[in-house]
Amino acid sequence: MKNISKKFLFVALGTLFVVVLAYVGCNQSKSSLSGNEAERVYVAPGNYDEFYLFTSGGFNGQMGVMGLPSGRHFKTISVFSQNPETGYGYSEETKAMLNTTYGFIPWDDAHHPELSMTDGVPDGRFIFINGNNTPRVARIDLKEFETKEIIEIPNSAGNHGSPFVTENTEYIVASTRFSVPIPQSDVPISSYKENFKGTISFIKLDPQTEKMNLEFQIIVPGFDYDLAHAGKGPSHDWAFFTSYNSEQANTLLEINASKNDKDFIAAVNWKKAEQYLKEGKAKTVDAEYYRNYIDDKTHTAVSQLNKQVKVLDPKDCPGMIYYLPTPKSPHGVDVDPTGQYIVAGGKLATVIPVHSFDKMIKAIEGKQFDGEVNGIPILKYDAVVAGEVSNPGLGPLHTEFDGNGYAYTSSFISSEIVKWKLGTWEVVDRIPTYYSIGHLCIPGGDSKKPWGKYVVALNKITKDRYLPTGPELTQSAQLIDITGDKMKLLLDFPTIGEPHYAQAIPAEILMKNSQKIYKIEENGNPYAVKSEKDTRVERKGNEVHVYMSAIRSHFSPDNIEGIKVGDVVYFHVTNLEQDWDIPHGFAMKGMNNAELLIMPGQTLSIKWEPKKVGVFPFYCSDFCSALHQEMQGYIRVSPANSNVQLSYSLGK
């Protein structure tokens, strides 16, 4: 008896213990993870991620380079924003990249990274990103992971629907969010309906030089143009642009632009536009805009001011553009891998409308029109719609594809990703996101051949997901496995700035081309020194040029005298290293400018205007070697009227 009761006591206590443990466990774990999620995202030390992920920096004007599945951050590419960390936008070689017709602008709002494509598949040559605030498009080289070109877009305001590429990167498209008076003029804002217009721009990527050129613009009714995607396969010749505010309101848009039952997707036949361009249907109009590019030889930014642009008017170009009626202020427009379905994210709609490309062509041929706007025929909704996805969540915004017949739509208001089947339009799965997802990204998910392994949720709000950091919290993405029938949350990870959109590409496509150094013998910067023997200091009036070299672990020269208050001193620093991952920094006490971070074989220049008499140190700011702390020098600054001769030395 005694034994039995003891046994019973043990069992009872054990059960209680398990129950308590389970209760505590449930309470402590916010997530409902179970299984091998940790293993799925763990990239062991020294191993590589499977994908590169490029995230837009949003209001920081930059681009993040990260790895999937780990979510590790590798680099921040400076694009539209000055970066004192590297000297981008401060150095003489990069300043001109940020020139606009409004002068130098140190910032922009960067939303949509878009990889260059060949045959509708990301090819790893370039990634483009838009500047939303002062309309621009940047081209980033993926050998160097550096911004190589920025083109300004005239007759545009709020370059949001950009930069989406056609199937072979023939064009990079851009549509204006704000309609504005074109050309700009001093008119009452209330004259919106008569004076304000929108534009859709086609930037050509020259296949030989790989440089951008604003080939033509199409003038369109004064709506807000939101997002875009080019067609592929059968729809290769077309590009699609969402618009809202077909009400043409100029104030309190949240009410006034939400009235119409349907707004439009503009379907543009760019092949036809090219034809009209050839036939001379375009008007050449005055419009100033900059194109800034890094010269291949000198590695120095050049600003080119263009003064005219060719503009096509739909009235003169029948068959070039049609409107597809689309419910309730559509946001994203995404084309499935077959090029057949055009999916709209009607952000206030209760369904996701999917247009059929074939039906669209038939409707055009059969002239199934429902009126027109400024010469643009409106196609009948029923004649073009392929189907509607019911119960897609609240606030559907964007859709990406896995290449296996499924689409994934982000729903902002209900904070979830909804998986549905193309063709049957039935929702098959849904998963919550934390919180308020905007875009989403499947590697190659807007291309002809998605690598449909993961979907990344790009969220707007993080609230309680991370350790709090005062009022401003981290921005965040979430990695979700989509290889099974059920989507499975694997990882939360912070991003830089605001990750509006992101694109991912298999690591092996980029890794093998990633550049290690700049070859010193190919350095064509006019201020470069090819060896220490060429280092010198030259005076031209009150301008002093210091031709300096940096190599482990010294600058040459490192003692400079004869600089005077009132001089304008340019340090041209060449990193003579030809060894991978050995940058040198250049930091000067009291310089009202940034530092320089100079890659092996590169030359960068920075301007210093000494204001005080004394001896001032400079040093290497990147821990380069065992004797990094010895990598330093002095500059003597004498009064403006001093007779101290210009002199320089190293090791004397």
Partner 1 sequence: MKTKSAVLIAIGALILILTFFFPLWTIDLDAPQYPEGLGLRIWLNEISGLRPNDLQNINGLNHYIGMKVIEPDAIPEMDIMPYIMVFMILFGLLNAYLRNKNLIYIWLILFVILGAIGIYDFYMWAYDYGHNLNPNAPIKVPGMTYMPPILGSKQLLNISAQSYPSVATFIILISILLNVAALYIGREKKNA
Please list every residue from 407 through 436 that binds partner 1, using CB under 8 A.
Answer: none
Q: Interface with partner 1 by CB under 8 A: which range of 126-134, 345-353, 490-498, 548-556?
A: 548-556
Q: How far is the CB of 46 from partner 1 (least distance, A)?
A: 9
Considering beta carbons, is residue 382 or 522 the nearer one to partner 1? Answer: 522
3-state secondary structure of 255: helix
- Per-residue x/- mask for partner 1, residues 81 to 120, rule CB under 8 A? ----------------------------------------
- Alpha carbon distance 369, 379 (integer Å): 4
SS (H, E, C) 540-555: ECCEEEEEEEEECCEE
- ∠ at Cα 615 (613, 620), nearest 5°? 130
3-state secondary structure of 366: coil
* Closest to partner 1 by CB, 316 or 522: 522
A 10 A CB-CB count for 594 gives 19
Is 579 a binding residue for partner 1 by CB under 8 A? The answer is yes
> Does the protein bind partner 1 through residue 589 (CB under 8 A)?
no
Is the CB of residue 403 less than 8 Å from the CB of residue 377? no
Q: Could you give phi then psi for residue 337, rounded to 5 degrees?
A: -55, -25
Show the DSSP H helices in 451-587 as ranges: 507-511
End-to-end CA distance of the chain: 99
Residue whose entry in the numeric block shows the structure tokens 């005077």:
564
Residue among 545 and 628 whose Cβ is closer to partner 1? 628
Smallest distance, partner 1 to C-beta of residue 577, A: 7
Beta carbon nearer to partner 1, 207 or 651: 651
We find the least distance from the C-beta atom of residue 129 to partner 1, in angstroms, to be 32
Query: Binding string, 288-307, against partner 1, x = CB under 8 A?
Result: --------------------
Cα-based torsion angle of the residue sequence 169, 170, 172, 176 in order, rounded to the nearest 10 degrees: -150
Find residue 111's DSSP bridge partners: none
> CB-side exposure of 72: number of CA atoms within 13 Å?
14
Interface stretch with partner 1, choices 66-74, 280-288, 561-569, 577-585 (CB under 8 A): 577-585
CB of 518 to partner 1, least distance (A): 11
Site string for partner 1, 438-477 (x = CB under 8 A): ----------------------------------------
Nearer to partner 1, 212 or 582 (CB): 582
- Beta carbon nearer to partner 1, 272 or 552: 552
Classify residue 12 by its DSSP letter. H
**What does the alpha-carbon distance between residue 122 and residue 506 come to, in Å, rounded to a whole number?**
10
Q: How far apart are CA 435 and CA 438, in angstroms?
A: 9
Beta carbon of residue 600, minimum distance to partner 1 (angstroms, whole number): 9
Least distance in Å: CB of 582 to partner 1? 9
Give which of 577, 583, 586, 574 is closest to 635, Cα–Cα: 586
Distance, CA of 636 to CA of 652 (rounded, Å): 16
Contact 457, 442 (CB under 8 A): no
- Closest to partner 1 by CB, 367 or 533: 533
Is there a contact between 161 and 242 (Cβ–Cβ < 8 Å)? yes
In whole angstroms, give the CA distance from residue 538 to residue 398. 57
Query: What is the residue type of 173?
Result: V
The residue (of 411 and 549) whose beta carbon lies closer to partner 1 is: 549
Shortest Å distance, C-beta 40 to partner 1 = 27
Find the binder of partner 1 among 168, 258, 303, 578 (CB under 8 A). Answer: 578
Nearer to partner 1, 2 or 652 (CB): 652
Residues of span 238-267 touching partner 1 by CB under 8 A: none
Shortest Cβ 512–partner 1 spacing (Å): 14
Region binding partner 1 by CB under 8 A among candidate stretches 197-205, 361-369, 456-464, 574-582: 574-582
Binding-residue total with partner 1 (CB under 8 A): 12
For partner 1, the binding residues in 325-384 under the rule CB under 8 A are none
> Cβ of residue 579: shortest distance to partner 1, in angstroms?
5
Q: In angstroms, what is the C-alpha Rg of the chain?
A: 29
Give the up-direction half-sphere exposure of residue 627: CA atoms within 13 A in the CB hemisphere. 9
Give the C-alpha separation, 269 to 281, whole Å. 15
Q: Tell me the closest approach of the beta carbon of residue 623 to partner 1, in angstroms.
A: 12
Interface with partner 1 includes 577 (CB under 8 A)?
A: yes
Binding track, positions 596-635, relative to partner 1; x by CB under 8 A = -----------------------------xxx--x-----
Contact 273, 216 (CB under 8 A): yes
Handedness of CA 428, 432, 436, 440 (dihedral sign): negative
Smallest distance from partner 1 to CB 581, Å: 9
Q: What is the nearest approach in angstroms of partner 1 to the Cβ of residue 627?
A: 6
Closer Cβ to partner 1, 41 or 624, answer by number: 624
Which runs of E-coded beta strand occur in 596-652? Answer: 596-598, 603-608, 614-619, 632-638, 647-649
Compute the least distance from the CB of residue 622 to partner 1, in Å: 14
- Contact with partner 1 (CB under 8 A) among 239, 363, 490, 551: 551
Beta strands at 51-56 and 62-68: parallel, antiparallel or unpaired: antiparallel
Interface positions, 500-529, toward partner 1 (CB under 8 A): 517
Question: Contact residues for partner 1 (CB under 8 A)?
Answer: 517, 551-553, 577-580, 625-627, 630
